[in-house]
Structure formats: C-alpha cells, structure tokens
Amino acid sequence: MYGPQIGRRGLAAIGALFVFAVIVSGALAALDEYQHPRPPENSNQVWMSNIGLLGQHELRHIEQTNGSTGNVTGSFFLGIGSVSGNLTAERKLQFYWGRSPDEIIPSALPYGMFRFVIDETKTTPTAEFVYDAGFLLTRRYDHSPSEKLNLNTWIDDWMIQRGLLRVVVVRIAKQTLEKEIYLPK
C-alpha cells in the first residue's frame, strides 16, 4: 500500500471532529438569532417602520413650554370616599417635526427625554425616537384608526411612563445649538 493508512480510530476521530464542528456552527447560528432576533412581520418595529416613525426626522422648530404631570387615585362607596394624588409642573420642549418635507407634526416631551448630540454634518437638526427593544419586537395585531393617524400616540407620556419610549436623540450642529434659546444656560 502506498501513503499513510488511517485506522478505525483515526476514522472515528475524524467523524467525531466533523460532528463537533456541525454542533458548534449550529450553536453559533442559534446564538446569533438569539442576540439579534428578526422582528415578526406584525411587530411594533415593522408597524412603526411602515408608518415612518423610526429613523431620523427633520426638526422644524423647538421651543420651551411648561407642562404638568401627575396622577390621582381615589375610592368611593355610597358617595363617601377620598382622593389622593400629586401634580407637578415640569419644563417641556415643544418640537415640530415631520416624516417628509411637507409634513409638520407638533409634539411635546419633558426635557429629560432629550439627548443632544453634536453632529457638524447636520445642516438641519434631526430627531430620532428610540424605543425599548423588547417593545419593538412585541407582536402587534391590530391598530385603531387613531393610532394610524395620530403619531403622538407613539411619543406621549403613557409611552414614557411605561419605559417604552426611551429617549429622543437630537442631532444638531454646534453653531445651530448655540443659537437656540430653549436650552438652560
């Protein structure tokens, strides 16, 4: 015979090595799918992407405004009861944005929801709404007509209180930022 011979043990070792490689590659593929899951077709992420809510949106104007938040709870039985709660005043930013050049959508959020990022490439400031990753992957089966028409449904206090809207990232050039009067000095 010519060349090296591989015995039974050698073939068994090669077979075991092959099976090990297949198992490891399958495990790595599953891990990648776990770490970067694809959104279901009826997820909030697909829905929000379809209505143009995800991504960067052009900011038309921003101004400071006052707002209030709070909650009230109570219980009554036969006309007797009590009410308790709190109401706090907070500064908000009223901002006007749009998904297209011919659309203007007014919205207002508390100062704490904004993160300003200096980006010298921006001639016009942009806003990007960042949502909770778990919320984006959640299945969404139906949408009411008001959810389809009123985009502020997706960026309101209810979304903030539940931690679904995480932050609004404003990308703005330093020169533009310095001209704005709504930022605290």
The SS3 call for residue 171 is: strand
Q: Please, are residues 155 and 130 in contact by the beta-carbon 8 Å criterion? A: no
In the block, tokens 């209030």 appear at 68
**Whose CA is closest to 93, among 183, 153, 1?**
183
- pTM (2 decimals)? 0.65
pLDDT for 77-132, tens place per residue? 776 777 777 677 778 888 999 988 898 999 999 888 999 999 999 989 999 999 99
CB atoms within 10 A of CB 174: 10
Say whether pLDDT at 179 is over 70.
yes
Q: What is residue 7's predicted lDDT score, i.e. its pLDDT? A: 67
**Whose CA is closest to 54, among 177, 183, 174, 169?**
169
